[in-house]
Amino acid sequence: MLLFVKTGPETVSVGALLQHDGLEGFVPVHAGAEGLSRAISHPRVQKSGLALVGHFAGIVATRVQILGNTEISFLESLDAKARDERVAGLFELGLSLVVVTRGGEPLPELVVHATRTGTALVATEYRSSRSITAVHCALDELLATTTTRHGVLVDIHGVGVLLVGPSGIGKSECALFLVERGHRLVADDQVILAVTPDGHIDGRPPSLLRDHLEVRGIGILNMRDLFGATAVRRQKHVELIVELFVGREGDEYERLGIDDQSQEILGVELPMLRIPIRPGRNMGVILEVAARNHLLKQSGHHSGRRFVEDLAEELGVETPPETKR
């Protein structure tokens, strides 16, 4: 029985958000660096235009506040005193992070009051729409409900296959063989699994383990250095779980593949296969075929059930009910 326990942060610090790979277009903090430890608890940004006219209802301090071209143009239309008052009122709300998306240097009043209140202020050349999308993607990942699973995640023919099973059974060796055949490693040993807003399960490695694979007898290998950038990827939807186990004489296995098994991860049901490891079996090829067969099933072609239906028709008997799904 595989167990996936829910974990995951309810908040993320401003500093952790700004270090996310998806926000490389955001320039260093212009002011309020001491506010990098403040918490962000909402996965969606907030446009702060209404606050600039004195309407503070609905402003959530722990959401990322966006000041785009419209908001900056409005501030520039005010006289110096009014502009200072409006900006001061905004920053006195105890905001976690303010992002200016117009590009260039933020208005002096923004820098002054960000410094005064210890609020992180950053700028980006991106337009507001692109900035909002980037922040949303980063927060969806950082604030997602997650679990960490011992296993290996590989992209095989575009299918995210999560290999699980006892330590030492050969998961990493399978991944090495698959990468050598042109497939892509996502994570080895520790796989961070998270629910995406559209109901998928995303898998990624811890940052320290990214691109690395451990092969017993050789050691830690950097797959990007060995096979190139196309041999690895940063994350992948998990579409199939494969549990590897030691096959023994007399064990009973699935022979026809009629009954589809599944496993729940973080409330999402995923198809699962149990494949025995035995001497002489080419596990790399078997896993490739498992991925291809998964794609066939996704397109409505279920080989096992089709075979049973054809056999029943040949024998002139009723098709078993378990194949009629």
Q: Which two tokens stand for residue 20?
A: 């996310």
pLDDT exceeds cutoff 80 at 310: no
Mean pLDDT of 9-19: 86
Mean pLDDT of 177-206: 92
Mean pLDDT of 278-286: 87
pLDDT exceeds cutoff 80 at 1: no
CATH 3.40.50.300 domain range(s) in the chain = 146-246+258-307
CATH 3.40.1390.20 domain range(s) in the chain = 12-142
Mean pLDDT of 187-206: 91
Calculate the average pLDDT of the chain.
Answer: 88
Active-site residues, by number, are 150, 171, 189, 255
Predicted pLDDT at 38: 94
Q: How many CB atoms lie within 10 A of CB 256?
A: 13
CA separation, residue 223 to residues 179, 188, 268 (Å) = 8, 11, 30
Predicted pLDDT at 97: 95
Classify domain 146-246+258-307 by CATH number.
3.40.50.300
pLDDT exceeds cutoff 60 at 325: no
Residue 17 CA to residue 25 CA, distance in Å, equals 13
pLDDT exceeds cutoff 50 at 200: yes
Predicted pLDDT at 259: 74
Mean pLDDT of 51-62: 87
CA separation, residue 266 to residues 8, 136, 145, 216, 269 (Å) = 11, 21, 8, 31, 8
Predicted pLDDT at 5: 47
**pTM passes above 0.85:** no
Confidence band, pLDDT 50/70/90 cuts, at residue 232: very high
Predicted pLDDT at 273: 93
Confidence band, pLDDT 50/70/90 cuts, at residue 320: low
Which CATH fold would you assign to the domain 12-142? 3.40.1390
- What single letter denotes the amino acid at residue 288? E
Predicted pLDDT at 193: 93
pLDDT digits over 132-168, tens only? 999 998 898 888 888 899 999 999 999 999 999 999 8
Predicted pLDDT at 3: 46
